[in-house]
């Protein structure tokens, strides 16, 4: 049996119109006509008993109250609907942006991978203790010595990101020495197959030792060879084009001066340089690598013969904070061009690494000044005692990642690494007596996890020839240095 809404409405109306003394009555519906009747009959079906619920005089008040309740319900539904819409929008945004925190720092990425952002940094805290520096004098006969103590060697924050998948950027600032210095600041385009185009402040394409991050180096300081590389082929503003494949890399770039040239005279046109580097790995497996590389650089100094705002000066400090330069050419004037060549080779086999580099520099000078040549080199070896291998990618080696992080609870001790290096630099040429010196370094590195490392280095300086620093009696200096570092990098 089917009942229409009209039938029920009629029943309600009829019930409301009954006499006031009728408290209840039965109602019937005709199954054909669906009419409502108060008495039974043929074809009629009982609907049920209907009771009187109030006088008709109370209906206006009840209707007003009902209308108010309905309006209140509508307003509440509207508020709930707005809240649901806001929650839906929030959920859409949450789905579009993925946030991750791990050993690489804080990372953000949109669902379509068009936009990425990462916040990272490093803190290197050093302590230095020197010996054998109590009886040193410089070329003027003045007593000199090494500054010992503690320092924040590096305190860097970096921001890296991607726009529309093909455009990358990196900005890195150092707050060590209680001042702000710009390190990396560039934009990179990677939308072309097998090519990366980088514009801005960046490392020039020269030397594996110079390319590798201070977070990944085996030793706390770079070798004596860096006396040639740092003043000439370190960071500068320029345009670099490179291709980085699994087994080989090739780069060439045109560069000006660094972003902070520290001009002394503030005159003359800025210099420019062309730097290039190519590497090849005939063996490139996870725990077996043979790396070979060659690099070249040509620099035309500024109009007044300056490099990065001052006359070229090649020297090597015993540590970053010591202020003791055992070899030092002093300011070299009248430089018309600088030419450099570098060779590099490294082998990795499981936990063992052996390698080295060589750099040669030719200085062309004008106004009757004599040309000069300098060189530097190093060889190094490392053994990861706990068995891990160093990482190799895009012509660079990276630090050890422990198989088992340090944990008292689990009884694991991270990774331990023993390394040694022999390096030499010759800054004597013609009338320039910057000095020749050798150095041996022994290092013990403890990797607690991917982010924290402790380092201990011992450096011995010897075989000094024609150096600006001698002893009070005119003998050869015999300086050794012990260094400690705690490193946090993410």
Within 8 A by CB and 6+ apart from 87, the residues are none
pLDDT in tens, 53-92: 555 455 556 677 777 777 777 787 778 778 777 776 666 6
Q: Are residues 328 and 402 in the same domain?
A: yes
Domain count, the chain: 3
For 223-237, what is the mean pLDDT?
Answer: 97
Q: Are residues 119 and 136 in the same domain?
A: yes
Q: Are residues 482 and 352 in the same domain?
A: yes
Size of the chain, expressed as the number of residues it contains: 490
Nearest to 41 by CA among 53, 27, 55, 62: 27
CA–chain centroid gap for 119, Å, is 7
Query: Coil, strand, or helix at residue 73?
Result: helix
pLDDT in tens, 20-43: 444 577 877 777 776 777 788 877
Q: 450 is in which domain, residue-wise?
A: 111-489
- Cα angle: 480, vertex 484, 487; to 5 degrees: 145
Q: Are residues 178 and 289 in the same domain?
A: yes
Q: Are residues 159 and 205 in the same domain?
A: yes
| Confidence check: pLDDT of 441 > 80 | yes
Q: Are residues 339 and 309 in the same domain?
A: yes
Q: Are residues 189 and 245 in the same domain?
A: yes
Res 138: pLDDT: 93
CA–chain centroid gap for 106, Å, is 10
Q: Are residues 234 and 90 in the same domain?
A: no
pLDDT in tens, 310-335: 899 999 999 999 999 999 999 999 99
Q: Are residues 244 and 355 in the same domain?
A: yes
Res 84: pLDDT: 73
Q: Are residues 192 and 209 in the same domain?
A: yes
| DSSP class per residue in 172-204 | EEE-GGGS-EEEEEEEEE--STT-EEEEEEEE-
Pick from 213-217, 307-311, 368-372: least confident: 307-311
Percent of all residues in the chain with a pLDDT value above 90, rounded to a whole number: 73
Q: Are residues 216 and 167 in the same domain?
A: yes
| Confidence check: pLDDT of 2 > 50 | no
Burial class (CB in 10 A: 0-12, 13-18, 19+), 52: middle
| Confidence check: pLDDT of 211 > 90 | yes
The answer to whether the CB of 389 falls within 8 A of the CB of 348 is yes
CA–chain centroid gap for 104, Å, is 7
Last residue of a domain, one of 72, 102, 132: 102
44, 119, 212, 377 from 399: Cα distances, Å: 94, 20, 10, 22
CA distance 113 to 154: 32
| Confidence check: pLDDT of 224 > 50 | yes
Q: Are residues 97 and 48 in the same domain?
A: no
CATH classification at residue 153: 2.40.160.10
* 424 sits in which H/E element: strand 415-429
Own/partner contacts of 78-84, CB < 8 Å, gap of 24 or more, are none
Q: What is the DSSP letter of 18?
A: S
Residue 217 CB-half CA count within 13 A: 21
């Amino acid at each position: 049996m089917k009942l229409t809404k009209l039938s029920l409405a009629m029943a309600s109306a009829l019930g409301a119109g009954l006499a006031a003394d009728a408290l209840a009555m039965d109602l019937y519906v005709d199954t054909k006509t669906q009419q409502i009747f108060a008495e039974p009959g043929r074809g009629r079906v009982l609907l049920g008993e209907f009771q009187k619920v109030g006088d008709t005089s109370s209906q206006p008040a009840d209707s007003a109250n009902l209308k108010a309740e309905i309006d209140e319900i509508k307003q509440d539904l509207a508020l709930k609907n707005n809240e649901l819409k806001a929650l839906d929008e929030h959920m859409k945004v949450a789905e579009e942006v993925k946030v991750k925190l791990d050993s690489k720092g804080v990372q953000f990425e949109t669902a379509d991978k068009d936009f990425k952002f990462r916040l990272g940094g490093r803190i290197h805290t050093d302590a230095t203790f020197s010996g054998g520096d109590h009886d040193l004098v410089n070329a003027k006969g003045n007593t000199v010595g090494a500054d010992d103590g503690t320092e924040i060697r590096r305190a860097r924050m970096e921001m890296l990101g991607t726009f529309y998948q093909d455009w990358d950027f990196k900005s890195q600032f150092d707050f060590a020495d209680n001042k702000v210095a710009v390190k990396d600041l560039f934009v990179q385009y990677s939308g072309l197959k097998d090519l990366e185009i980088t514009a801005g402040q960046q490392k020039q394409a020269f030397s594996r030792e110079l390319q590798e991050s201070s977070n990944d180096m085996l030793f706390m300081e770079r070798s004596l060879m860096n006396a040639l590389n740092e003043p000439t082929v370190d960071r500068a503003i320029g345009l670099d084009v490179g291709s980085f494949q699994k087994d080989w890399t090739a780069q060439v770039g045109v560069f000006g001066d660094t972003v902070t040239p520290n001009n002394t005279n503030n005159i003359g046109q800025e210099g420019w340089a062309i730097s290039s580097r190519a590497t090849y790995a005939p063996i490139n497996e996870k725990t077996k690598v043979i790396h070979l590389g060659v690099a070249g650089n040509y620099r035309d100094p500024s109009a007044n013969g300056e490099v990065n705002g001052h006359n070229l000066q090649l020297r090597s400090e015993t540590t970053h904070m010591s202020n003791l330069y055992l070899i030092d050419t002093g300011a070299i004037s009248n430089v018309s061009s600088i030419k450099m060549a570098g060779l590099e080779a490294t082998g990795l086999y499981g936990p063992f690494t052996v390698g080295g580099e060589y750099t040669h520099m030719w200085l062309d000078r004008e106004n009757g000044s004599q040309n000069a040549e300098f060189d530097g080199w190093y060889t190094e070896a490392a053994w990861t005692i706990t068995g891990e291998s160093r990482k190799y990618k895009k012509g660079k080696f990276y630090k050890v990642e422990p198989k088992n992080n340090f944990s008292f609870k689990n009884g694991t001790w991270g990774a331990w690494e023993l390394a040694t290096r022999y390096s030499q630099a010759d800054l004597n040429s013609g009338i320039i007596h910057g000095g020749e010196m050798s150095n041996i370094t022994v290092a013990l590195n403890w990797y607690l996890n991917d982010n924290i490392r402790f380092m201990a280095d011992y450096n011995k300086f010897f075989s000094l020839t024609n150096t600006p620093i001698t002893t009070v009696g005119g003998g050869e200096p015999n300086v050794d240095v012990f260094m400690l570092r705690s490193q946090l990098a993410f």
